[in-house]
Amino acid sequence: MADDLLSQLRKMTIVVADTGDIDAIRRFEPTDATTNPSLILQAAQLKGRRERLAEIARRATDLDDALDAVAVEIGSEISSLVPGYVSTEVSARLSFDTDATLARARSLIERYARHGIGPERILIKIAATWEGIRAAQQLEREGIHTNLTLLFSFAQAQACADAGVTLISPFVGRILDWHRAQSPEADFSGDRDPGVQSVKRIYEHYKGHGYHTIVMGASFRNAGEILALAGCDRLTISPALLGELADTRGTLERRLVPEDAETSGLEPLDEAEYRWHMNEDAMATEKLAEGIRKFMEDQRRLEALLGELRRA
């Protein structure tokens, strides 16, 4: 009998848990774990955390201090359960401010150090805006590893590789969402999925040019998208889809192979070229802006919760 699909996937791709749920991480034993404001909000609302959150909120100097303290506390707990990276996100409010992003990233690394966790274990997540990519480039020079998120376009991926970032998180499901809204009757199954196609193109470009930046597919809507990217460097997967893969048996074919990548000559993008390519890509422009707004919406909800606890 064939092994379950999750076990087979682990043999060709590093599996990452896309959650802040400690119980789910214990169950699936991923190599890495990623969080974002939405996942931190979910984790903060779990039973048993409220008393600790109240303690953090009351000790904090302000809401920014409280937010980062909560993120690092949850990230530190996760780090004891996974052997690899833990991703912690800089506030989406700073997505267009390079200097503020740098300051916040350094502060997060200092917070982790106070928990006994070194920078080699942490990925600072930053939205893949031009300003965010510039911040990531400087952080990498300082030995701080970065994960560029909310990545929807080849231009974003190209600029991130040129900047030498550690890892990118190209979003699959949100790209599919956009195309489904534009063409509700179209068949986007399997290799027709535009999100899958986007990650494959990025992966082949990176491998063909010898970039060391890790490609980690993210934001999956169904298990089929994951199976279509088997062989990608990393895939960050929700607990629900991890469970589905673990419960399904069959034969999993490797779909992405580094040796199959072809080299194409592309010059590094400057700011004007990056912004022009983004302007030409309506999907990427809209989904990047929407993603930043969504993260901020959940961050504001977490700020409100922490504010209530500070006053209680």
Residue 40, SS3? helix
Chain CA centroid to CA 50, Å = 26
In a 13 Å sphere around the CA of 295, the CA atoms on its Cβ side amount to 21
Amino acid at 291: G
Inter-residue contact 306 to 67 (CB < 8 Å): yes
Structure token pair of residue 67: 């937010």
* φ and ψ of 255, to 5 deg: -105, -25
Q: Which of 292, 311, 304 is nearest to 89 (CA)?
A: 292
Q: What is the 3-state secondary structure (H, E, C) of 68-112?
A: HHHHHHHHHHHHCCCCCCEEEECCHHHCCCHHHHHHHHHHHHHHH
Pairing type for strands 86-89 and 32-34 reads: parallel
Whole-angstrom distance, CA of residue 79 vs CA of residue 57? 22
DSSP, res 171: B
Of 11, 125, 207, 294, the active-site residue reads: 125
Please name which of 170, 210, 223 lies closest in space to residue 194, comparing C-alpha atoms: 170
- Is residue 207 flagged as an active site residue? no
What residues are labeled active site?
Answer: 125
